[in-house]
Amino acid sequence: MPDENLVKYIKEGLAQGRTEDILRPLLLAAGWTPQAIDEAFASVKGVAMPASTSSPASASAFAPGTMSASAATAASAPSHGRKWAWMAGLAAALVAVIGGGWAAYAYFMNPSPQQVLDAMFQNGFSGMTSADNDTALALNIHFTPASTTASASASASAPAAMPYAAMLLGGNPATLSVQASSSGVFASDAGGNRNTDENIQASVNIGTSGETIAVSGAGEVRVVDGVAYLNLATVPSFGIFNLSALQGKWIALQADSSTESLAQNFIGAPSLAVPSGTLSAADVQSIIASMEQAITITKTLPDETVGGVSDYHYQYVIDPQGAQRAALSAAAIAAHALQGATSTLDASTTAAINEGVTNFLGAFTSMGGDLWIGKHDHDLHQASLSLAFSTTTPAGDIQGTLTVTSTLANINGQQSVSAPEGAESIQAVFQSLVASSPALSATQSAGRDARRISDLHEIQNALELYYNKCGYYPGSAAAFQACPAVHAQITTFASLSAALRGSSSLGITTVPNDPSAGATYYYGTDAAGSRYILAARLEDPNNAVFMQYMPPSFAGIRISGIASCAAPMYCLSL
């Protein structure tokens, strides 16, 4: 028969959210035999167990123990003393039951920090599908430039964990301060997407050479089904840029072919490709488990209540070696899930990750914080992280601190996140931004003018190829084995484009046209096809191309749409 007290406490532990995997080590540590534990769990589950050949050591008490000496000898005591011996044995048994039960109860209510941490990673994280959150962040960086050649040379061999900070802060002593806070919700949908909705406020202060630059902003960010949406409540001012077109609008930040085109036209480089694929629930659980390797509990603090929930309170540090193992494990899982690669990284990749993690962690002088973990649900209700870093780069020394505190509430409630209605594409918003920002508009128009000039010279090369075949500049499509005997005079660029694309052996399938919608280039010839004018209307009449420009004569040439080659018209002629 299973011990009734043991069964009772197993039921209570399960009701409080503890799993069998958590309860068994606790019971074994308290002294219960595996057989007694098996019988108790079988009773709770309603499973019949084979009859025991011997009674467990703790059959009569929650805590393991043995019968007292007086109780053990009661059966052989003389009859006139059996009454007292029985009473003494009963008293000893009661003491064992009460004392042992209290000890086990106290053990249940005061598990070790590592056991609580295990429960949080095994049950709390994996079982969390939604929560409200509040987060505060503070970053402070102080940059001291290298003052001598010797110090700069000595710093060249030091690990540069943050090489871009020096570039951002410049060559003078400088400080960078970032204050940010966010509140919102995350909720997993039926498809397993972890959708989020965050309201964010942030301010940035940069101080250098006795001056301070302050920028602040606020907005809302949503991520729904892998698409990010942004709504700026306040827009920072950058002087030459007018960003008012962004304020109060939902913007869909979804990459597509148009985004690639924008990146090419305005940034000069393609946007980064993101590998396809998603992390499975098993992958997420494996990454969560690897994270635990980096955390070491260093101190138990008095229990506290966070959001009305009673929590264990611990201090922890991040172990660099554990963090390195966790990074390797997470990298292998991510490579397998996102790129279809093997989950075992090759030697060169492992070495590269090890070097990167070592250099990065080497900049931190302290890493740790506090954890508040629920006593009954094992959920993480609050966490703080404090980092202090100091590193030397060829540009100078960088020191700073980063603190983050996050609180979770309403865990596994009825939260949901949906995509905002009426969101505009980033492409449409960018065009509005360019139109309302003179600096960006000028940059864009200059780029289009440069393309127009380049296009005309490219088309001019095609005109010369045609002339070499037929002896006159194109008017109509030509087979070149037998060019038209009479030149067909044309006056539009559309006719020229058709003639070039239709002429055999030129191999021209497309002819560039003006990059602005609704605009066109211009073309016309004289009657014999011995001269032509090829033109484009530039947006900047003061373009540098006009500095030594001599407009060609229109004498004898018929061309539709323009009457002169004076700026802003740019013409090529022969």
pLDDT tens by residue, 186-216: 998 777 677 899 999 999 999 887 788 888 8
479 residue type, one letter: A
Does residue 550 have a pLDDT over 80? yes
Query: What pLDDT score was predicted for residue 150?
Result: 40
pLDDT-derived band of residue 29, with 50, 70 and 90 as boundaries?
Answer: low
Output 285 or 278, whichever has higher pLDDT.
285
pTM comes to 0.56
pLDDT value of position 88: 55
Segment 306-327 shows an average pLDDT of 88
Any idea which of 38-47, 378-387, 423-432 has the lowest mean pLDDT? 423-432
Q: What pLDDT score was predicted for residue 14? A: 82
Q: Does 335 have pLDDT greater than 80?
A: no
| pLDDT for 383 beyond 50 | yes
pLDDT of residue 172: 78
pLDDT of residue 159: 41
Question: For position 52, what pLDDT does the model report?
Answer: 41
Stretch among 205-219, 274-288, 374-388 having the lowest mean pLDDT: 274-288
- Angle among Cα 244, 249, 255 to the nearest 5 degrees reads 105
How much is the average pLDDT of 549-574? 92
pLDDT at 199: 94
Preceding amide of 302 cis, omega within 30: no
pLDDT tens digits, one per residue of 210-219: 788 888 889 9
pLDDT at residue 51 tops 90: no
What does the pLDDT read at residue 450?
Answer: 93
Q: Give the C-alpha separation, 490 to 346, whole Å.
A: 65
Q: Give yes or no for residue 25 having a pLDDT over 80.
A: no
Residue 317: which of 363, 385, 404 has the closest Cα?
Answer: 385
What's residue 79's pLDDT? Answer: 45
Please give the pLDDT value at position 226.
81
Over residues 60-114, the pLDDT tens digits come to 333 333 333 333 333 333 444 445 454 555 555 555 444 544 444 444 457 889 8
Helix and strand counts by DSSP (H, E) for the chain: 15, 15
pLDDT given at position 525? 94
Residue 9's pLDDT is: 80
Helix axes 34-45, 4-15, angle to 10 degrees: 60
Give pLDDT tens digits for 343-378: 555 677 777 777 777 788 888 888 999 999 999 888
- pLDDT of 451 > 70? The answer is yes
What pLDDT, on the 0 to 100 scale, is given for residue 158? 40
> Is the distance from CB of 133 to CB of 407 less than 8 angstroms?
yes
CB atoms inside a 10 Å sphere around CB 425: 15
- Looking at the chain, the whole-number percentage of residues with pLDDT higher than 70 is 72
| Higher-pLDDT residue of 269, 253 | 253
What mean pLDDT comes out for the span 451-479?
A: 92
Structure tokens at 497: 């484009």
Would you list the domain boundaries of the chain? Answer: 4-110, 119-270+278-435, 446-573
Task: Using pLDDT thresholds of 50, 70 and 90, give the confidence band for residue 477.
Answer: confident
Whether the pLDDT of residue 268 is over 50: the answer is no
- DSSP per residue over 66-122, as a string? ---HHHHTGGGS-GGGHHHHHHHHHHHHHHHHHHHHHHHHHHHHS--HHHHHHHIII
Where would I find the H helices in 77-231? Answer: 82-109, 113-119, 149-155, 163-169
| Per-residue pLDDT at 196 | 93
Question: What mean pLDDT value characterizes the chain?
Answer: 77
At residue 215, the pLDDT reads 83
